[in-house]
Structures are given as C-alpha cells and as structure tokens.
C-alpha cells in the first residue's frame, strides 16, 4: 500500500526498478530535470561509458588549469598602482574580547585636533561622543566651548554665532569640497569619520601611510606638490608628512615620536569609525555561546524525534 502511494508522489523521469532508501522519508524535494555536471560524470561511470567520462573529466581539469594560470599574469601588473600592502600590526584592540586603549584614544584625539583638523573634517563625530570614552563631561564641554558655531535663525530672522555645545559636531576646516580642493592643490583631504572602515585593511593602512613617507625608488620622479608614499595607490600623495617627532606635546607626558602619534591617532580613528566595537564583541561572545548551547539542545531534540524513523524496519515482500 505504501509503495503504490509512493509512485504517485515521484517526479523523476526515469522509472526506478529497485528500492531506494530516500523513499522512506517523505521528502517533498523536487528533483531537477537537468542533472549537474558531477552527476553526469557519475552516471556515465555507472553506465560504463568510460570514454564519455574521461572526456568530461578532461574538460573539467583543462578549464580549471587554464583558470588558475590566468591569475598568474595579474601579479606582473604595476605594483605601484595598488600600493605596497600594509603589514599587520598587533593592535591592542584586535583580540576577540579586547577593548580599545582609551588613553590612546585620548592622545589620538589630541593629535587629530592639533595636526589633522586643519585640513580633515570629521563631520559625523559629535563632542558628546567623546564623553566617557576619552574625556570627562566637564573637559568635553570646555573643549566644545572653544569653537564658534553658526546657529539660528533667531527671532529676528538672523543667523548668529555661539560657543559650541556637546551636541555640536566636530568643526569643519572648509565650508565645502571645492574650497578644500582649491586650498590643497586640487586634492580633497577626505573626511576621517569612517576612514579605517573605508579603506582596505584600514587600520594598518592608515598607520603605514602616516609613518611611511620615504624617498622614491630609482627611476621614479614625483612632480612638485606631491610626495612619495609607497602605501598610497600610485605612490604620489598630495599630503606631506604630518607626523614629525615632537609635533605634539602629550598631556600625559608620553614621548611624541612619529610612530607613537601614528598609533594613537589610528586608535582614535578606529574608535571614531567603530565606537560600538566593545559592546559588539561582548554581545557577540555572549550570543555565540548561547546559540551553541541552543544548537546542542536542538540537535538532541531533533535526533530524539527522528529516532522513530531512523530505527524503522521495512519488509520487502516481493514475488519475482
């Protein structure tokens, strides 16, 4: 009775002579009419047509080899175009449960403010974001009050300027992109709010770039107004070297060497791009743990319920 019902559910084209284990389980899986490449190989092998199988196998091997070989030509392309890949630095916040070095964020903000803010905006970060991360509320309020912000219109319909508040964004050095390009020889100093996420291998790239100004190799000439940096795609960057030993005097007395400032400013920029990182890691660790336990429970429950089917025995009562 069960076998008669089975044939009415099957959508396969070929009539099957023998019992197949998949029959027992009420799969509603639709078998596709065009079998895959690998299944044709298997069918040919099963049918005993060895010449067809070897031809197909040969075609597969040939296609994969020519595909792999074609990648070899890419490495000989101009390396300066892609820029020298940045090495991987052991960032203190890199681990699965590691937090930011908040003292480094504080120093990095100081570097940004004194060295970078004259050309680079960070228009997505507000002063209030710094509270509890790098500065106390009083310190941040005092910092914000140092800038002038255009506000308004007032009751008379006029725009007015006022000292900054916690809710204000970081000030922009230029009113618009065109002004920024005009002052910087046609090059636009990008907004740094998300820069470590906006560049491939962002944290390592920015650190390598800032500390990687060198003499160009033999045969490479950089025009006036540009500077050589091997990590920058193309090699010629408009920004001169900004991190110079002693450029900043750190509040906490840390010696302000080029690489120290680079590390601190990249930590600050990483925080600016991913302020949620610490909470994300905590949440991720917690939920991966919880879901692993749930997986174990679900697997046990599934096997418990399916044990009835899996231990079922059928008797084939056929007369030939």
Partner 1 sequence: MADEELTDPKLYLEETCKPKCVKPFWEYQACIKRIKGDESGQKHCTGQYFDYLKCVDECVALKLFDKLK
Write down the least CB distance from residue 308 to partner 1, Å.
58
- CB-wise, 94 or 302, nearer to partner 1? 94
113 near partner 1 (CB under 8 A): no
Q: Is 202 in the site for partner 1 (CB under 8 A)?
A: no
- Which single residue is written with the structure tokens 């007395």? 253
Residues in the chain: 320
Query: How many residues of this chain bind partner 1 (CB under 8 A)?
Result: 36
What does the angle CA 69 – CA 78 – CA 74 come to, to the nearest 5 degrees?
15
Contact 81, 234 (CB under 8 A): yes
* 249 touching partner 1, by CB under 8 A: yes
Tell me: does residue 105 bind partner 1 (CB under 8 A): no
Instruction: Give the whole-angstrom CA distance, residue 66 versus residue 177.
Output: 47
Q: Residue 257 interacts with partner 1 (CB under 8 A)?
A: yes
Closer CB to partner 1, 216 or 275, in the complex: 216
Site for partner 1 in 1-40 (CB under 8 A): none
Q: Is the dihedral of CA 72, 73, 74, 77 positive or negative?
A: positive
Find all residues with CB under 8 Å of 261, minimum gap 6, and list them.
107, 111, 115, 243, 247, 248
**Residue 116 near partner 1 by CB under 8 A:** no
For the bound state, the minimum distance from the C-beta of residue 72 to partner 1, rounded and expressed in Å, comes to 16
Does 255 contact partner 1 by CB under 8 A?
yes
Q: Is 317 exposed, middle or buried (0-12, 13-18, 19+ CB in 10 A)?
A: exposed
* Helices and strands (H, E) in the chain, number of each type: 11, 4
Residue choice 35, 92, 163, 185 for contact with partner 1 (CB under 8 A): 92
Q: Which residues bind partner 1 (CB under 8 A)?
A: 78-80, 84-92, 104, 208, 211, 214, 217-221, 230, 235, 245-246, 249-250, 253-260, 263
């Amino acid at each position: 009775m069960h076998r008669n019902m089975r044939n009415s559910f099957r959508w396969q084209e070929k009539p099957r002579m023998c019992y197949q284990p998949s029959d027992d389980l009420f799969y509603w899986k639709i078998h596709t009419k065009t079998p895959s490449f690998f299944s044709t190989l298997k069918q040919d092998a099963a049918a005993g047509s060895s010449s067809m199988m070897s031809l197909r196998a040969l075609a597969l091997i040939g296609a994969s080899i020519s595909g792999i070989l074609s990648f070899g030509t890419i490495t000989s392309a101009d390396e300066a175009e892609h820029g020298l890949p940045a090495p991987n630095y052991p960032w203190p916040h890199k681990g699965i449960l590691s937090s930011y070095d908040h003292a480094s964020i504080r120093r990095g903000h100081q570097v940004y403010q004194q060295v970078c803010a004259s050309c680079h905006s960070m228009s997505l970060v507000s002063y209030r974001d710094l509270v509890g991360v790098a500065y106390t509320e009083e310190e941040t309020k005092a910092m914000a009050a140092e800038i002038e912000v255009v506000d308004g219109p007032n009751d008379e319909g006029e725009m007015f300027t006022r000292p900054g508040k916690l809710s204000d964004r970081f000030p922009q050095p230029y009113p618009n992109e065109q002004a920024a390009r005009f002052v910087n020889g046609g090059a636009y100093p990008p907004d740094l709010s998300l820069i470590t996420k906006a560049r491939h291998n962002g944290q390592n790239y920015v650190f390598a770039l800032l500390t990687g100004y060198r003499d160009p190799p033999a045969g490479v000439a950089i025009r006036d107004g540009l500077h050589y940096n091997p990590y920058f795609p193309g090699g010629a960057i408009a920004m001169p070297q900004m991190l110079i030993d002693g450029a900043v005097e750190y509040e906490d007395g840390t010696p302000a060497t080029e690489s120290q400032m680079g590390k601190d400013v990249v930590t600050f920029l990483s925080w600016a791009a991913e302020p949620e990182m610490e909470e994300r890691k905590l949440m991720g660790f917690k939920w991966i743990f919880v879901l692993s336990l749930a997986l174990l429970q679900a697997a046990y429950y599934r096997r418990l319920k399916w044990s009835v089917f899996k231990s079922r025995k059928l008797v084939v009562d056929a007369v030939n």
